[in-house]
Structure 1
Amino acid sequence: MAGVTGRVWEPSTRPASTIGAAPAEATATAHAKVILLGEHAVVHGAPAIALPVHGLALTATVTRTDRPLWIDSVLYRGPIAAAPELLAAPVTAIVETLRHVGAPATGRAVRIDGEIPAERGLGSSAAVAAAIAAAVARSCGVELDAAERFALIQAAERVAHGTPSGLDARSVVSDTPVWFQAGQARELPSALGGVFVIADTGLRGRTREAVAGVAALKAAEPDRVAGILSRIQECTQAAVDDLAGDDRAALGARMSQVHALLRELTVSNPHLDRLVASAEAAGALGAKLTGGGRGGCVLALAETAQNAETIAAAMRENGAERTWMLRPEETTA
């Protein structure tokens, strides 16, 4: 099939002592993520903050077989040689992982269970690649280290997105909030006690289009766009103290401010704006689009779990296809 990248590394030269016995079946999981602050600015070198969404997760199960490589997903079930282009990224994760550990590209069936909605800014393609890479390696008796797993996720993400920043690859395997800038990630301390509501517009995000639109706007109006990106960066940096100090009101205000700035960058749309407005009218401390924009999801911050339920109901009444909660125990570190 088209779209599969070349090698990430030469076949593995791991010492035999570092490779365990290959099990008959191996599994691995990964979860979704949301960008709290910093989307689009991160493309231009500014920082971003991402949060893990453990409630949206998937599992890859790899079984040893006596047939060619096989994939079983909600989109396609069959040999990877005949897989549709839509599965080029997962296929890349399978092939590159086998190549990396020095195993033959045959004799494995990969099943993907669970669903993170695709093209919603939730990191679905990175999560699929993360789970596949770890499970395939384990099926060969190999535990990937963090750098190896990141590189394999990025190989798949390049097929899916062209030039991924690496934010999704870091976030979908992190148990804590992530500070990401210029390809580097670190754990971010958080004591936040509020509850986030994630609302799906039901519309696919158009990240490539949005990123290209911001680049075109920056070329046409460099000073204005630079100012917008700078203000987004200031909000992202200030949010570090908001998270550490559980300043929910300040963080919410920054979220709403950043949404207004993202609107100026033309990456919002009426569906996103309506959900943001409905969340704020229902008592949210702040709300914004999350991810690439022009579709996808909205993230709102509620003071309490009870407030969150009210906000989620209001967003569904105003067009959200579905909502999820992100509770304090998932965002504290």
Structure 2
Amino acid sequence: MLADRGAAPRATGRGAHAARPVDEAVGSAHAKVILLGEHAVVHGRPAIALALPHLRVTAEVRRAAGPALLRTEEYVGPIDTVPAALASLATAVRATLERLELPVSGVDVAVRTGIPVGRGLGASAAAAHAIVDALARLTGADLDEEARYRLVQEAERVAHGNPSGLDARATRTRGAMLFRSGTSTRLPVRLGTCLVVADSGVRGATKEAVADVQAFLERDPARATALLDRLATLTTEGAADLADDRRRELGARMSQAHAVLGELGVGHPALDRLVDAAEGAGALGAKLTGGGLGGCVVALVPTPADADRVVGALEAAGAVGTWVVPPLEEDA
């Protein structure tokens, strides 16, 4: 069981004991989309990610007698017997309670997601963040950002094997960020047009894709390294494009990145069809986003008025869901 309501947890970060324990609490986190740099970021290169605040995961936690329970659309039961697909969520519950020096029992955790799972939008990291947030609120603990990041990364290792850490940062960061080797920096953005994200309907396979790229590196290190370096260059140049609303240049870099990711072996015919459809409808560029082997694409449209036309083309090409990211203008 959890400690009594009147007993605050031990110090866990800056300003612990910031609130008293409560009987129920809610945590949430948002989706993200990688604009440039996926896979390269796993190998120490930079990547750009944008928040998708309208796609969210919520975790509702309450105190309850007995073992720690997890509730999702797919499963209701003890965290010790969750199916493999939900093991990362069980890890988030267990790791957080252990970090707070509390028994792994006495909580009922209900996770509701509005983020498509297996689409490269950060669903597993967002769910882990929501759980960590809710448990911290329930117990009255003040976990600092680094403590939260480490807990989410522990869950992400279960989900993806060798996560870069980008999702663990991006699902709690507003706007745009540049991520490299565990460190994120807010990016200035002056992008006066929209991005369109489209779901191919094919479940992605991040863990498999990461392993495939690693195998490529071991099999042909010179070729794989050159491709990863090319992605890094496109990312660095794309960050400057974002800051100055150089949308045509940014779109061209996105399309180039899609081709490079295909050469790395993480593409999929369904993603290629969506990219072709977006560009055929006037998008300035489009690419897969996330781990690949399925999942989503992201397209850059010339002006906000062009978004509906591109959405229509993507849906006609088989997209099962689309989301429009409005123009962005933020300081770092």
Answer yes or no: same fold by TM over 0.5. yes
**Does the aligned pair in 2 maintain the 1:53–1:330 contact within 8 Å?**
no
Partner of 1:320: 319
Partner Cα distance (1:141, 1:180) in 2? 30
Partner of 1:56: 55
SS of the aligned residue for 1:325 comes to strand
Alpha-carbon distance, 1:143 to partner: 2.3
**Does the aligned pair in 2 maintain the 1:177–1:332 contact within 8 Å?**
no
SS of the aligned residue for 1:96 comes to helix
Partner Cα distance (1:212, 1:105) in 2? 32
Matches within 5 A, 1:1-333: 12-14=10-12, 18-19=16-17, 20-329=19-328
Distance 1:331 1:251, change over 3 A: farther
**Does the aligned pair in 2 maintain the 1:26–1:138 contact within 8 Å?**
yes
Partner Cα distance (1:185, 1:323) in 2? 27
**Does the aligned pair in 2 maintain the 1:40–1:292 contact within 8 Å?**
yes
Q: TM-score, normalised by structure 2?
A: 0.92
Deviations 1:139-195 (A, max 9, x none): 001121101100110111111111211010000000121111112111111111121
**Does the aligned pair in 1 maintain the 2:194–2:304 contact within 8 Å?**
yes
Distance 1:14 1:248, change over 3 A: closer
**Does the aligned pair in 1 maintain the 2:189–2:329 contact within 8 Å?**
no
**Does the aligned pair in 1 maintain the 2:31–2:122 contact within 8 Å?**
yes
Partner Cα distance (2:30, 2:127) in 1? 9
**Does the aligned pair in 2 maintain the 1:63–1:139 contact within 8 Å?**
yes
Deviations 1:73-117 (A, max 9, x none): 111112323322322111111111111112222221111123211
Partner Cα distance (1:234, 1:260) in 2? 14
List alignment gaps of at least 5 residues for structure 2: 1-8
Partner of 1:7: none
Partner Cα distance (2:112, 2:316) in 1? 30
Q: TM-score, normalised by structure 1?
A: 0.92
Deviations 1:243-269 (A, max 9, x none): 110111110010011111111112112
**Does the aligned pair in 1 maintain the 2:48–2:176 contact within 8 Å?**
yes
**Does the aligned pair in 2 maintain the 1:30–1:57 contact within 8 Å?**
yes
Figure out how many residues of one structure are paired with residues of the other and give that number: 322
